[in-house]
Amino acid sequence: MIYAENILLCIAMPLVATLLFLQSSAKRFVFSFLIGMMVCLLSAYIGGFLEVASGMSKEDVAIFLSPVTEEAMKFLPILLYLFLFEPDEEWLLLTSAGIGAGFATFENCCYLLMGAKSLPYMLVRGAAVGIMHLVSMVALTLGLNLLRYYKMVRFSGILGALSLAMTFHGLYNLLVSVDGIPSYIGYAMPVLCALLLPRQLKRFKEFTRE
Amino acid sequence: MGIIMENILNFIQVMVLLPLILGFAGMMGKGKAGMLPVFFTFSMLSYFLSSVYYLVYGFLRPGERMPFAVNEIAECAMLLLLCAGLETFLTRDMIGRLTAMLFAVFFVGINIILWILWSGEWVQDIVFGLPYIYMLYLLIRGNIHYKTIGMVEGHIAMYASLMVLLLQMFTIKATGTLRFVVDRGSYLVAYGLALWLFWSCKKALQESGVKAIFLTATLFWWTIMVMYMSSGIYYDIAEAMNILAMPLLYFAMKKEVGERDLC
């Protein structure tokens, strides 16, 4: 049996070595990518614990509890980074994109371990999940940057934005849990958001420059 | 029949929320609007997602009880983002913070106890009840500071809301005709308070944006509380009131943004 920890080590080791040769934004992105993968593993541990503690089925945990734990776990490093180092908007966005991409990559790898389905299915699932984690992180960071711009970084705003990301994730998980049309709608959701997000990012940059 | 009605109302809610979200989003970045439309847009987006989640769940898993209500997280998001919007009007040095907090904790605390008695989901009810406490705290502070209603009216509203709670608590122990009378009496007071708030909002919309925002937010909050206190057809009536309160929130915001541009 291949354990998730082994997969993490296999992917992480070359990336850790890469850090020695990279500089500036590339180094930061690879580092946050590694953090994202570790956060994914920790989320899986928490998910496993909750499955045992709550007595829910694996599917119910994935639909109802995973969105909460995963989004909270992904958000924690960003929040720590924000409050400890007070990075500028670009750095924060880069870090969140790295965490989102690392999380999605490792989750896809673990999904492969559970028994890969057909190539087209893996393509669709990989793209949708990959985009979903990335979109939720980038959107959250965009929200954080907006709060900082207006000097309104407060508990209610941050928690509200996080809860919104959890709901989006929860709706996605609910839709893809059923085969057929609901899962197609679920897969399309993050893709549509990903198409809208770059425009919003551009709008935000223009707005803050004014 | 009840479920069909609930789904129809949820669908109407989604349909009402869509143009409202677009309307709020249209105000973002305009003039001196600041963060306010951003918070309200995302708050309504959360509410929209909550309704969509509920509809989708009902469609995909009909008759199955949610082991953990994800849509309640969206409702929390909706309330917290509304709170973040309301916070922009309030400063730390305003008076009456302790009184507002004590009343909010007491009022919503009793409600949470009643929710637990009805549903048995104590962790969920406590956790998801906290944003209601915070929002009531902000609403009391805002309504007092901006003098949205008269002193006497405010006191009457406070006692009426406490009376609703008292009557609701009484229905747990009462039986037979007495229960029927007390139950209907509590609905009467709760709906009466909501109708009075509708009338006050209408008046405030002609006066000032801030006043209208605090009053419509109070109405919105109250209709949600009444929804959670009610069952059957009474729940549907409260939900219909909640749907009607949403456009008022939009008009209040529009008035406030318009006033800011004039300054």
DSSP B224-263: HHHHHH--THHHHHHHHHHHHHHHHHHHHHHHHHHHHHH-
Q: How far apart are the first and last CA of chain B?
A: 52
Helices (H), chain A: 4-19, 24-54, 58-60, 66-85, 89-113, 119-149, 155-176, 181-209
Task: Classify residue B106 by burial, with Cβ atoms within 10 Å: 0-12, 13-18, 19+.
Answer: middle
Cβ(B229)–Cβ(B168) under 8 Å? yes
Residue of B34, B53, B68 lying closest to A171 (CB–CB)? B53
Tell me the C-alpha distance between B248 and B201, whole Å: 8
Positions of chain B with pLDDT lower than 50, given as ranges: none
For the entire predicted model, the pTM comes to: 0.88
Quote the number of domains for chain A.
1
Tell me the C-alpha distance between B36 and B130, whole Å: 22
For residue B69, the chain A residue with the least C-alpha distance is A64
Q: B158 vs chain A: nearest CA distance in angstroms?
A: 25
Task: Find the length of chain A.
Answer: 210
Q: Cβ of B77 and A164 within 8 Å?
A: yes
The mean predicted confidence, pLDDT, of chain A is 86
Is the CB of residue B53 less than 8 Å away from at least one CB of chain A? yes
Instruction: Render pLDDT for A35-72 as a digit per residue (tens, 0 to 9).
Output: 999 999 999 999 889 889 888 888 888 888 889 999 99
Total beta-carbon pairs less than 8 A apart between chain A and chain B: 102
Q: Cβ of B80 and A159 within 8 Å?
A: yes
Tell me the C-alpha distance between A40 and B74, whole Å: 23
Structure letter (DSSP) for residue B94: -
Q: Is pLDDT above 80 for A200? A: no
Q: Cβ of B42 and A143 within 8 Å?
A: yes
Tell me the C-alpha distance between B250 and B136, whole Å: 20
Q: Cβ of B53 and A67 within 8 Å?
A: no
pLDDT at B168: 85
Is the CB of residue B39 less than 8 Å away from at least one CB of chain A? yes
Q: Cβ of B49 and A67 within 8 Å?
A: no
Q: Which residues of A touch B41 (CB under 8 A)?
A: none
Q: Is pLDDT above 70 for A113? A: yes
Is the CB of residue B81 less than 8 Å away from at least one CB of chain A? yes
Which of B240, B261, B217 is closest to B78 using CA atoms? B217
Six token digits for residue A50 = 């909750």
- Is A172 in a helix, a strand, or coil? helix
Interface of B with A in 109-148 (CB under 8 A): 134
Q: Please state at what angle helix B122-145 crosses helix B97-119, rounded to 10 degrees.
A: 150
Residue of A68, A156, A177 lying closest to B84 (CB–CB)? A156
DSSP B179-226: HHHHHHHHHHHHHHHHHHHHHHHHHHHHH-HHHHHHHHHHHHHHHHHH
Q: Cβ of A160 and B43 within 8 Å?
A: yes
Distance set, CA A140 to CA A133, A198, B94, B138, B182 (Å)? 11, 14, 31, 25, 47
The pLDDT-based confidence of A139 (bands split at 50, 70, 90) is confident
Region A75-84: mean pLDDT is 91
Structure letter (DSSP) for residue A151: T
Tell me the C-alpha distance between A159 and A169, whole Å: 15
Domain that holds residue A101: 4-209
- CA A48 from centre of chain: 19
Task: Find the length of chain B.
Answer: 263
Cβ(B104)–Cβ(B75) under 8 Å? no
Which of A41, A40, A60 is closest to A50 using CA atoms? A60
Instruction: Render pLDDT for A2-15 as a digit per residue (tens, 0 to 9).
Output: 678 888 888 899 99
Residue of B45, B56, B88 lying closest to A164 (CB–CB)? B45
- CA A131 from centre of chain: 9
B34 vs A196, more confident: A196
Unique residue bearing structure tokens 């008035």: B255
Tell me the C-alpha distance between B213 and B31, whole Å: 18
pLDDT at A1: 54
Which of B248, B202, B243, B213 is closest to B82 using CA atoms? B213
pLDDT at B247: 93
pLDDT at B200: 92
Q: What percentage of chain A carries pLDDT values higher than 90?
A: 25
Is the CB of residue B104 less than 8 Å away from at least one CB of chain A? no
CA contacts within 13 A on the Cβ side of A120: 0
Which of A203, A70, A210, A198 is closest to A138 using CA atoms? A198
Q: Is pLDDT above 90 for A195? A: no
pLDDT at B173: 80
